[in-house]
Structures are given as C-alpha cells and as structure tokens.
A and B are shown apart, each in its own frame.
Chain A
C-alpha cells in the first residue's frame, strides 16, 4: 500500500504543484486548504506525513503541528513545515513545537521530494 501524504496550503497554485509532485513520486495524496481542514482530514484518516504551510488563515501551521503532537494516536505522523520567512528562529520554533523538518519557500521541487523520501523511505509505487 502506498504511503500517504497530506498537503496543506492556502495557496491554490502551490497546492496544485505539490499534489502533482507527490503523486508523481508515488504517494497517496490528499489536500487541505487551511489548518482546520487539515485537522479534519487527519482525524478522518491518519496520513504518514503532512507537508504543512505555516502562514495560513484560521488555525496556522504551528497550531496544527502542536495539535498533531498533542494527540498520542498521531505520534507517528511526520510533519514537514513549509514557510515563506525562512528565519532560524522560525525553524527553531517549528522544531520546538514538534515538527520533524522544515522547508523554506521558495523551495526546489527536487528538495521537497528528497526530504519527503528521507522521512518516509523510498515510495513503494
């Protein structure tokens, strides 16, 4: 069974690109447009990894990350944060709140695929 990735971003174009990339890499992809939608998706079916944008309306990426870590059932979910700011401090905050990794926007598509593969292992598809 292919590994599942949840992509969360409020930017439709980014969402489209990431969905395409992840599918092409062989993952089972689902999408969410904000933090609340993301948490609803995770509750519905727990993904193996969440690509999570930080700056979003409603519940932001940090909040989602913290919520994932607050629930013991989701402790195996890997979280990679995506952000536009790219400051050390923000990275540190993300890691402090339980994120596994951190990718700065704008990112190279290859970098995203590589990072996801690092955390999930080579895709089976």
Chain B
C-alpha cells in the first residue's frame, strides 16, 4: 500500500527538516549573531509551517478518501443502494476502495439471494395456505382445530354449516360451546394415553421420537342436541413430539343416513318397477321358444315386444345406475357414543313429539353402536311401551357388565310380554332409515331385546350392546398429591330428627365436586369450578347436572392446571365465587350434600358462602369416610381406587362434573353395602362418618 510507505516517509522528512531548522537556529545563536529568541522563533515558525503543509497533504490524500469510504460503507450496510464507490483520484488508499467495492458487491449479491429465497418461501407458504383454505372450504366435513385447553384455533365453513352457524362458534372460544364435552374429552384422553403408552416406540422424525397415533372415531352431539355427529379426533404434534392440540372432523349423521335411505328406496323401486317389463319379456320369450308353429307375422309381434322391453329395461338400468352413483353410500359403521348423548337425544325427541318424559339415570358409559338407528329404535320402543301400558314416564340408563353395556328402559306399570315385543320388532321404522325394522337394528348390533319384571311393580326393557374399549383408571396413575383430609366435626351433625330417620335410599342428594387453585383453603387457594349431579331414590339423574367455572380472582399455579386443565384464560370472563355459589345453592336446595372427602369441598364452599350471602347448612355425607368404614382393609382411598374396587367406571377424572358423577356412582353402590351392614338412615350414616373421621384423625396423628 502506498500510504504505508508515503506516511512514514513524509513524517521522517518532516522530522529531519525540523531537526535541521532547529540546528541551524542554535548554531547561529552560538555564533553570537543576534538574540537567541529571534532565532528560535524563526525555527519554530518554519517547523509549524512544515507540519501544516504535511497535515494538509495527509488530509487531502488520506483522511478525506478514508472518510468517503467509511461513509459509503455505513450507508450501504444500512440501505439497499447500489452505486459505484466515488473516491477522489490521487489518494493514498491504494487498493482499499477497490476491495471495499468488491465487498459491497458481494453483500448486495448475498442480499439479493436471501431476498429471493424469502420470496420463494413466502410464495410457497401462500400457496400452501390457499390450498389448505381451498381444501377446508371444499370439505363437506366440519373441521375444528383446538389447543389442549379446548380453545378453537381454526374452523371451516362446513363446521359452521353443520353446527348451524352457532353464536358460540368462534376463534379462541371453548369448543364445548358447540359440541358436548364428554365424548371429546374422553376421546382426547384415550389418544393422549396412547401417545404416552407408545413413548419410545415412536417414529423417528428429525432426531426426535414422535408417537404416532391413529385418529379415533366417535359420535358426539351438537350442544343444542339437535344433531348427532360422526366425529374423528387426531392429535396435533409439535416438532418436539409433544401434543399441542387436536383436530376434530365431523359430519352430520342424518345426511349420510338419508343417502342410505335413498339407496334402499332405489332398491325397492327396482324390485317393483322391473317386474312388469320382465314379465312381458319372459312371456314373449317363452312364446317364441315354445310355440314353434307361430306364423311369421305373429312371430314379429313377439320379437318387437322383446326388442321394446329390452330397450326399456336398458334405459331403466342406466337411470338407476346414474342415481345410484349420485348417492354417497359409504358403509355406516358402528362407532363409539357416550350414553348420555344418546339418551339426551331420545329424551328430547320424545318430549317434543310425544309428551313422554324420559329421565336419563345412572353413571354414563360408552357404547359401541350405530347411534342414529339406535336412537330411532329406542324412541320407537318407548313410544310403543307408553301406548301399550299407558305410561308416560320412563327412566333410561346403561349399566356396564362384562363386555356388554345393558341399555335399560324402566317404567312403573303393566309388563310387556315377549310376544308383544315380537310384533314391534317386525314393524318397519318410519324415518330416514329406508324402512329398516327394529329387529334389523337389534340384529345389526348382534343383540337381543327382552322385558323383565322388577320389584315394586316396575318393569324393564333390556338391550345389551357392545361396550367400548375405555381408558381404565388404573392404567393412568394419579399424578396428584392426595387431598389433605380436614377434620371438621360439625360436618355430620344432622339437627332435624325427621331428616335423621329418612332412609338413605329415599333421600334427595346432590353429589358434587370442586376443582381449586390448590389444596390449602387457609392459605389463599380458591374455587375454580363446581360440578354436581342429582341423585333421587338411588337413581343418578344424569340429565340434572350443575357445572360452572369460577374466576378465582388470583393466579392459577401451573402445577394445578396440569391436574384440572383449567387455565387463567378459561376463567377470565367467568363469574367469581360469590356469584356462582348462590346459583349452586339454588340447585342444591335442601338436598343432602355428598362429596368424596366432603370436608375439603365444604371448606371451599363455606369460605366464600358468607360473601355470597348463602349458607350451606344442608346435611352432608362423605363417600370417602363411608368407603373407609365398608372397606377397612383397603389401603388406597383415592377416588379412582375406590371406584375400581366397586367396579365403577371413572369418567373424566379431574373435571368437577366427571368426579361428581364418579362419586355418585360410588355412593349408589355404597348404599347396598351399607344396607347389608344395617346402616339404612341418614342419621346412622352421619354417625358412621363422624366415627370414621375421628378414627382417621387419630391414625394421622400417630402416623
């Protein structure tokens, strides 16, 4: 570089010149020629001038071009400007401007390349997005994508159409505003369990192990209960393999069945409509074959008939084929349906159309069935029993035993004999089922139907159906710390003598459960939700439930969200406890309250009851303490363990309503066991509860 030689040379020359001038000045002063000061002033002036000249030279040749290059570098790095680098000629920068020019060129090229890649990627993403939009738009199935908090992230037009453009269908809103909760939650639970189970044997993808799960089919209902939907649920995985949400696709079952009906109608039409031309054809053909001595003109008449009828048959065949192809006639397989959805549909239709009151009872279970035809068959049968026995009130329930679920319709009144049922079975069902009979539907489910007398003048119709493979509570260990037991000795005081002597079976009960922000009511934990179900005369009234989310007015620890799945987002627009508690109180009325570890739930209720202006002074029973009394040798008294011992299916664990249902089913089973130990009244059960509480308190102190 020229500057590298030029600058030292210049500075060296300058220093030499300064030294010379100073030496000359000193020498002249020593010769006594004039004053030293004057000589020195001259020398300094000369040196300064030399330095000034040198600085000017440096500024023009070096610093100014350098500043120009720096300025250009800053400008170009910050902008997309593309122009030649302008540096005045004669500079001392040697190859620097050219090198900088090359560097800037390379930068511009790299930038162009990146931009092009970004453009291409954006184009691809746009294409994919519009393709996805087109697919979603053209799908006849409804699609809803949710996160694991069940908030809707995306839905398509078909979803809006099938669900009747529901007001509750919107982004970021809960999917349970439009679809019934239980089937979705349980199917999701099942799939998530499968993922957990498949951990380690998953498919390698990008170095991460991702559990592959097949989508699950099930049947659910729209919240307004108008439509049963055939649905499929599959998980959405993050690149890390964690499940981050799920995709629900669903179709209106009614429409699909309509096409089945049309196909059947077509078949019936063929059977009748083709008879006439076939008869003519056969007659004419036989005449030609078997009457050898026909005159030529007679033969021609019959040959014409054959030709004409063959043509007619041909045309009809083409027409039928065309219509057949227009029908979407997929096979209509059996799918999983939640019994409550099934029974609610039956209840609604019969209440609306026939004024027959159907009460769903018992803990809900999953059934493997052709739900639409099953609803029609059950409606038909209940209608027929109602007419035959002049009864207008029915209980409908499903009991699981071995591999079957027994759907049971119970009424108080005259029995129905097997031969009467036989006549009903042969009756074709009106509706969209292509005139299938009840027998065909029963047989399609590999089942039989019969009626039996029960005690107290009641009768039941039984229809065993296949049970669904269900997630079992014991496969999924409770990850939750055991609830602390609180010892509240006033809890089981029953003041009224009348109530005290009421038989347990005759009590009006409300079985409830709460979800909370934590386990310490005394240290600021609050209610998050209340779920409850009514139990009357030992019947769980599945249709009479209470379920509310509550805004706790504080944060929700992530550790508890893991358990109950309730996030701050879900309760943000929910009312606080002092608004919900009066609603719950009016649901409860003067019923006896039942909970599993009741002291805990009661504590949370009472904490906010004062502020809400209500009191929960109802009699209370504790299913936990009664279980302890009846099963002293058991060690695990978690809700799932108790349910398991009694053969109760655990439903939607850690939702308030799910746990309330499970508790109700446990409590109903406990009633039989209590009765066999001579415990029949509320007073007796309350005394037992107090005794068990004292016993457990002492054990806790010792332990």
Interface residues of A (CB under 8 A from B): 59-60, 62-63, 65-66, 70, 87, 89-90, 92-93, 96-97
Contacts and interface: CB of A to CB of B under 8 A. Distances in A.
Nearest to A70: B417
B419 A59 contact: yes
Contacts of B404: 89
Contacts of B435: none
Contact of A93 (B417, B419, B422, B448): B448
Contacts of A87: 446, 448
Given A63-B422, A66-B418, A89 B452 contact: no
B567 to A, nearest CB: 45
Contacts of A63: 417-419, 422
Nearest to B442: A89
B462 interface: yes
A66 B420 CA distance: 11
B402 to A, nearest CB: 9
B464 interface: yes
A29 to B, nearest CB: 26
Interface in B345-385: none
B450 A93 contact: yes
* Range for the number of chain B residues in contact with chain A: 10 to 19
Contacts of B452: 96-97
Interface of B: 404, 417-419, 422, 446-450, 452, 462, 464
Contacts of A60: 422
B696 to A, nearest CB: 42
A56 B372 CA distance: 31
Given A63-B422, A89-B464, A96 B450 contact: yes
The B interface, classified by DSSP as helix, strand, loop or mixed, is mixed
Nearest to A66: B418
A32 B446 CA distance: 29
A74 B446 CA distance: 32
B464 A92 contact: yes
B446 A62 contact: no
Given A62-B450, A63-B422, 12 more contacts: A60-B422, A63-B417, A66-B418, A70-B417, A87-B446, A89-B464, A90-B448, A92-B448, A93-B448, A96-B450, A96-B462, A97-B450
8 nearest A-B residue pairs (beta carbon): A63-B419, A93-B448, A66-B418, A62-B418, A93-B450, A89-B448, A63-B418, A89-B464
Contacts of B464: 89, 92
Contacts of A66: 417-419
Given A89-B404, A92-B464, A97 B448 contact: no
Nearest to B402: A88
A116 to B, nearest CB: 24
A96 B401 CA distance: 15
30 contacts: A59-B419, A60-B422, A62-B418, A62-B422, A62-B450, A63-B417, A63-B418, A63-B419, A63-B422, A65-B418, A66-B417, A66-B418, A66-B419, A70-B417, A87-B446, A87-B448, A89-B446, A89-B447, A89-B448, A89-B464, A90-B448, A92-B448, A93-B448, A93-B449, A93-B450, A96-B450, A96-B462, A97-B418, A97-B450, A97-B452
A92 B464 CA distance: 10
A20 B478 CA distance: 64
Contacts of B462: 96
A96 B462 CA distance: 10
A60 B421 CA distance: 12
Contacts of A70: 417
Contacts of A97: 418, 450, 452
A96 B419 CA distance: 15
A59 B417 CA distance: 12
A87 B452 CA distance: 19
B561 to A, nearest CB: 45
A93 B462 CA distance: 9
A8 to B, nearest CB: 15
A94 B34 CA distance: 149
A56 B448 CA distance: 16
The CB with the most chain A CB atoms within 10 A, among B404, B419, B449, B462, is that of B419
Contacts of B450: 62, 93, 96-97
Contacts of A92: 448, 464
